[in-house]
Amino acid sequence: MRRFTRLTNAFSTKWENHVHLVALYTACYNFVKQHKSLGGITPAMAANVTDRLWSIEDIVTLVDNAEVQALAAKRSAILASPQSN
């Protein structure tokens, strides 16, 4: 992956962005991309993690749902904390 080198505009300047990109790449590689060496199925299907071929939209939905849950948890923690005047 060219994202690890500095010779291109795709270089991650922030570590957090780099970590997120590698996580998305790994998810797409294992759940979306069909591999010819596995008979046209994904590695996740070969490992019996899932029984269907995922799409990019499925991964985006998972990320969005996780973000909403994190924000809801943060909001409830703020609302549950005692107010000091």
Domain that holds residue 33: 2-80
> Higher-confidence residue: 80 or 37?
37
Using a cut of 0.85, tell me whether the model's pTM lies above it.
Answer: no
Across the chain, mean pLDDT equals 85
For the chain, what is the domain count?
1
> 85 in a domain, yes or no?
no
User: Considering the domain boundaries, does residue 31 fall inside one?
Assistant: yes
pLDDT for residue 82:
77
Q: Is residue 54 in some structural domain?
A: yes
Which of 9-23, 25-39, 43-57, 69-83 shows the lowest mean pLDDT across its residues? 9-23
Q: Could you give the CA distance from residue 22 to residue 9 in angstroms, rounded to a whole number? A: 16
Residue 18 belongs to a domain: yes
Q: Produce one character per residue of 44-61: b if its CB has 16 or more CB atoms within 10 Å, e if not.
A: bbeeeeeeeebeeeebee
